[in-house]
Structure 1
């Protein structure tokens, strides 16, 4: 699973992307966030306020209950506004 981080999420985590292999019980975006938050203090800081994180799975916006599987690309980023 490829995980991409953007903006301040990337700053907290310390990398722009990483390959991860979460345990089988991680089945959705929310579970992935929970698991990632336990990987390091930077991950914990990035995901501390989950209401400020948006996700995309395979380049489509996804909510917390969206399924994730091995081979997916998941991106995490702050809310985006247009103008």
Structure 2
């Protein structure tokens, strides 16, 4: 299983802070596509994904036992 944690506006888009997916592995791109198809309000534009607290690329693999963070764009001043 893969734990997915949603931060800030991503949390608002999906309506929850976290969930667990019953899959063995998938790519970051497949994860974002799954979230988009499961939650129509989810807009992956600018979203970053971290696997076990390290930023990931779209072709990186998420494996069972991993924790993924969905991080929206941030701004500051």
What TM-score, normalized to structure 1?
0.78
Hey, what does 1:74 align to over in structure 2? 68
Deviations 1:50-77 (A, max 9, x none): 3321110001011111111111100001
- 3-state SS of the aligned residue for 1:12? helix
- 3-state SS of the aligned residue for 2:60? coil
Structure number with the higher helix fraction is 1
Measured in 1, the distance between the counterparts of 2:45 and 2:59 equals 14
Count of equivalent residues: 76
Aligned Cα RMSD in Å?
A: 1.7
Match of 1:53 among 37, 42, 47: 47
Following superposition, the deviation at residue 27 of structure 1 comes to: 2.0
Following superposition, the deviation at residue 38 of structure 1 comes to: 1.8
Gaps of 5+ in 1: none
Gaps of 5+ in 2: none
- 3-state SS of the aligned residue for 1:51? coil
Structure number with the higher strand fraction is 2
